[in-house]
Amino acid sequence: MTYCVGICLKDGLVFLSDTRTNAGVDQIGTFRKMTLFQKSNNRLFTLMSAGNLAITQSVKEVLLQGQLSNGKNLWNVANSHDAAAVVGDAVKQIYDRDHKALEKAGIDFNCNFIFGGQVKGESPRLFNIYSAGNFIEATPETCYFQIGESKYGKPILDRVLNYSTPLNLATKCALISMDSTLKSNISVGLPLDLLVYEKDSLKADKLVTIDESNPYFQLIHELWGEKLREAFNSIAEPNWSGSKKSSAISSPAKKMGVISINREIRKTAPTKRK
């Protein structure tokens, strides 16, 4: 599996992806899910992928070759929205090529992308592109997308992130979200690829590959578990007797009583027919 998270903020974008791929538990490999596309001083795009690796690698190749039928590619489109449409077209192209054979083999056409970046003159933008090639865009109200094994790492994003979160805090949040996923799911694994993109820079200055030896990821990995346990311990235990009002747990619910307890149904023997 995979876990990727992309965040679109007032100050820029954060992209984080793992590198584990598996087809069954005994076929585990390392493949990068992040690809960068740049035209100096004009645009920078980042693509992250989840799903069937044969599909996502083919889509990436189409994009790198830049030869889409209508003459548009990631280096010549006018804006990020059109760039997302180019990615969508690449997905459709691979669908047309492969879907019949995949269907025969009983395999879903399964791929999912986070794509975002900035073209000079517009704001940074972030998209989630589906396997049909259609896509949605992040907004200030919903400023992040996740693909792959997204559920373990969602609670911390929901608690901390909003559109005004500074890039450095969002980076920390993304890494904690990844650390929670790594801990609970073995199909997601190190190293990680991280890009923190500062609005209007049009450059990938903060691009790093993170493995076990990365001091900051070590710090997150060790401290977060500890801090979480501290937070856990600082909350009062449930009080069953009702002696402490603030932590009383046995107070009855308003609309529903406590569930009933079932004892054996004693049956009378059926009366014999005469």
User: Taking CB under 8 A as the criterion, which residues in 7-36 touch a second copy?
Assistant: 19, 30, 32, 34-36
266, 255 Cβ separation under 8 angstroms: no
**Torsion sign, CA atoms 150, 16, 183, 56:** positive
**Least Å from the CB of residue 267 to a second copy:** 8
For a second copy, which residue of 23, 28, 54, 64 counts as binding (CB under 8 A)?
64
User: Can residue 213 be called a binding residue for a second copy (CB under 8 A)?
Assistant: yes
String of contacts with a second copy for each residue 66-105, x by CB under 8 A? x------x-x------------------------------
User: Can residue 184 be called a binding residue for a second copy (CB under 8 A)?
Assistant: yes
**Least Å from the CB of residue 161 to a second copy:** 10
Could you tell me which stretch among 77-85, 90-98, 105-113, 234-242 binds a second copy (CB under 8 A)? 234-242
For a second copy, which residue of 110, 123, 134, 209 counts as binding (CB under 8 A)?
209
Q: Residues binding a second copy: what is the number (CB under 8 A)?
A: 90
**Who contacts 69 (Cβ-Cβ below 8 Å, separation ≥6)?**
89, 93
Helix axes 215-234, 167-184, angle to 10 degrees: 80
Dump the DSSP string for 75-101. Answer: TT-SSHHHHHHHHHHHHHHHHHHHHHH
Residue ranges of alpha helices (H) inside 31-79 are: 53-65
CA 128 – CA 29 distance, rounded (Å): 25
In three-state secondary structure terms, 73 is coil
CA 20 – CA 31 distance, rounded (Å): 6
User: Can residue 231 be called a binding residue for a second copy (CB under 8 A)?
Assistant: yes
User: Can residue 245 be called a binding residue for a second copy (CB under 8 A)?
Assistant: yes
Smaller CB distance to a second copy: residue 246 or 274?
246
